[in-house]
Structure 1
Amino acid sequence: MEKDMIEELFDQHEGRWDIEEPSKGHELRFLEKLNTANGVKSFPKKKKTPYKFLFIAASLLLVFGLGFLFLNESNSIDDQVVEISPEISNTEFYFANVIAQEVKKLQSENSPETKKIVDDTMIQLSKLEKNYKGLETDLINGGNSKLILSAMITNFQTRIDLLEDVLQQIEEIKNIKKSEHENTII
């Protein structure tokens, strides 16, 4: 029965239904009238620019371009040091090889008796290396180049002296152990 009443209602109003679409901007005009009646100020919406994608593309291009320039221009610290003082490259190569050989010797002597002294030496070497990197940075930043180059060479010599002293101490430890072992056998 209820179904019949609803169908009857629709049949009575057939052809009277508003099926037209409102004109473009109708909703905005309606909201504006409503806001005006309630005393609310509304700000007009900004128009969307059809070139928004061009702005984004240009921004990305600018960012990538600047990034490329900075990455390309910023040579490594080693390259910059060589530019300032070409002689340092040969000196650094020589000292680095000597230090690498001494470190290999030190690591080959690593045993339970010498582990602590070897570990302490490696820590001291890393501190000296960090100090050397700081000297390189100072040289690049325009410090007194003769003084800094002298400090860099002293840093290398200090590392080599440290390694030689530790290797000598390890030899003494081995000799003491050997002599104790010989004395125990007799």
Structure 2
Amino acid sequence: MKEDNIDNLFKNLEGSFDLEAPAYGHEQRFLEKLNTQQGTKTLTGKNKSWWKPLSIAASIAILCTIVFNVYKSKPSLEQQVAQISPEVSRTEFYFASLIEQQVNTLKSESTPETKKIIDDTMIQLKKLETNYTQLEQDLVNGGNSKLILSAMITNFQTRIDLLQDVLNTIETIKNLKNYDNAKTTI
């Protein structure tokens, strides 16, 4: 029965509904009137305008702080070693360039006959580099500096001797191959 009354009410009011859109700013004015009656204060457009730029500025400041802290991290292991012993960095540069030169020569001598020995040599060099890095870490951590520096130099010398021995072996292999080729052509 109640539903019939509501249906009748809407049928009677049909055509008299206001279908026009409210004027610009109607909602804001309505909320201000409502809040003044209730004694509260709302954030108007003027009060809201500072919030967005402030939040953007705060986000940028936080991002800059994070980036600064990442790049300001502690110095690398090589830099720490250079601070402890500048001679080590000069010696390391000399030995590293010499080793790199010999490695390039070794790679240029690669043939099917010498591939296995070259691959094994590269594995041994990686192991020696890992040991050298551990020695650097020990030096930074405050170990016996004279003993560690001596071990670091020995590590470099071992790498150079290994490369020189392998280059000599490759030269011997090449000579034997040439000798065998000369022998079979006669």
Runs of 4+ more than 6 Å apart: 53-60
Using the alignment, how far apart are the partners of 1:70 and 1:143 within structure 2? 28
2:113 aligns to what SS in structure 1? coil
Percentage of matched positions with identical amino acids: 59
Cα–Cα, structure 1 residues 13 and 119, in superposed 2: closer, same or farther, change >3 Å?
A: same
Cα–Cα, structure 1 residues 153 and 12, in superposed 2: closer, same or farther, change >3 Å?
A: same
Using the alignment, how far apart are the partners of 1:110 and 1:62 within structure 2? 54
Using the alignment, how far apart are the partners of 1:157 and 1:81 within structure 2? 19
In the TM superposition, residue 160 of structure 1 has moved relative to its aligned partner by 0.3
2:72 aligns to what SS in structure 1? helix
Q: Tell whether 2:116 aligns with 1:116.
A: yes
**Aligned residue number for residue 42 of structure 1:** none
Map 1:74-113 → 2, pairs under 5 A? 74-113=74-113
Gaps of 5+ in 1: 15-22, 25-50
Using the alignment, how far apart are the partners of 1:100 and 1:13 within structure 2? 95
Q: CA RMSD in A?
A: 3.6
1:74 aligns to what SS in structure 2? coil
When normalised by structure 1's length, the TM-score is 0.66
In the TM superposition, residue 80 of structure 1 has moved relative to its aligned partner by 1.1
**Aligned residue number for residue 135 of structure 1:** 135
In the TM superposition, residue 69 of structure 1 has moved relative to its aligned partner by 3.6
When normalised by structure 2's length, the TM-score is 0.66
1:172 is aligned with what amino acid? T
2:72 is aligned with what amino acid? N
In the TM superposition, residue 63 of structure 1 has moved relative to its aligned partner by 7.1
Aligned residues: 155
**Aligned residue number for residue 182 of structure 1:** 182
> Which stretch shifts more, 141-150 or 113-122?
141-150
> Which stretch shifts more, 157-166 or 120-129?
120-129
